[in-house]
């Protein structure tokens, strides 16, 4: 049984990852609110990743950093603080967690780190300037740290398209918007949190032991296909 640190596992994709991993592994969740379920393999720490000191953890085999943002506006309506806030939560928070826990993770069994990007880092989309810039920073971090720790641990990212979570609720708030989002994807679907959790589980597992420095598009075809 391995031990994984999940940052931001109380809701959405993070919560789906916890539910997937906790059946066979110990999971330590750090988030501002606790998950709405309990499990014998789940430990929770109340923590704001940006403002709080992160708790000491004795050992772990992997880390998943889930916090993110969807801040969509025309460029003229973005303030510089909007850009700073998106960069802080998506990049600086991830760096803070990695710096804190990499000394223990690199001593784990087949250690692995998973971060999150977005399809908007590859596909030019109106009103996505802030989040696309921040998540591009995440992808650069994955490449650089993948090389830096090539013989020590693996680090990869998942870049999902629209996923049915509270964070994306404004994009899926009525039947017409759901229909439009579905039609935009060549596979005529968008993601559920459990879909993304399955990919995270794979990237943490020994089945992906030869994969590092990669960003995996879970795009339902929107980046990959033109149909």
Interatomic CA distance for residues 170 and 177, integer angstroms: 9
CATH number, domain with residue 151 = 3.40.50.720
Secondary structure class of 141 (helix, strand, coil): helix
112 belongs to a structural domain: yes
pLDDT of residue 14: 96
167: which residues sit within 8 A by CB, 6+ positions away? Answer: 11, 12, 68, 69, 70
Is the separation of the CB atoms in 218 and 160 below 8 Å? yes
211 belongs to a structural domain: yes
pLDDT of residue 167: 79
Strands 26-31, 112-116: pairing is unpaired
227 belongs to a structural domain: no
178 belongs to a structural domain: no
Number of independent structural domains in the chain:
1
Is the separation of the CB atoms in 134 and 192 below 8 Å? no
pLDDT of residue 199: 98
Secondary structure of 96-120 as H, E, C letters:
HHHHHHHHHHCCCCCCEEEEECCHH
181 belongs to a structural domain: no
103 belongs to a structural domain: yes
pTM of the model: 0.95
pLDDT of residue 31: 97
7 belongs to a structural domain: yes
Q: Tens of pLDDT along 69-105?
A: 888 999 999 999 999 999 999 999 999 999 999 999 9
174 belongs to a structural domain: no
Name residue, tokens 């992160």: 54
List the domain range (segments joined by +) for residue 16.
3-163+191-218
pLDDT of residue 175: 87
Question: Which parts of the chain register pLDDT below 70?
Answer: none
Interatomic CA distance for residues 58 and 5, integer angstroms: 11
Secondary structure class of 169 (helix, strand, coil): helix
Sign of CA dihedral 149, 5, 219, 131: negative
């Amino acid at each position: 049984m391995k031990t994984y640190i999940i940052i931001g596992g109380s809701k959405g994709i993070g919560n789906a990852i916890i539910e997937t991993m906790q059946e066979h592994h110990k999971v330590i969740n750090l988030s501002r609110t606790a998950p709405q379920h309990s499990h014998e393999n789940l430990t929770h720490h109340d923590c704001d990743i940006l403002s709080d000191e992160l708790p000491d953890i004795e050992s772990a085999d992997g880390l998943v950093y889930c916090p993110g943002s969807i801040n969509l506006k025309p460029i003229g309506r973005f303030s510089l603080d909007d850009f700073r806030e998106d960069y802080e939560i998506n990049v600086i928070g991830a760096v803070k967690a990695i710096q804190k826990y990499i000394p223990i993770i690199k001593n784990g069994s087949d250690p692995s780190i998973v971060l999150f990007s977005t399809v908007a880092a590859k596909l030019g989309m109106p009103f996505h300037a802030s989040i696309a810039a921040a998540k591009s920073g995440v992808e650069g971090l994955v490449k650089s740290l993948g090389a830096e720790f090539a013989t020590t641990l693996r680090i990869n990212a998942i870049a999902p398209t629209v996923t049915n979570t509270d964070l994306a609720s404004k994009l899926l708030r009525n039947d017409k918007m759901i229909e439009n989002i579905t039609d935009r994807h060549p596979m005529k679907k968008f993601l559920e949190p459990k879909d993304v959790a399955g990919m995270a589980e794979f990237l943490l597992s020994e089945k992906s032991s030869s994969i590092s420095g990669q960003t995996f598009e879970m795009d339902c075809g929107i980046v990959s296909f033109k149909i």
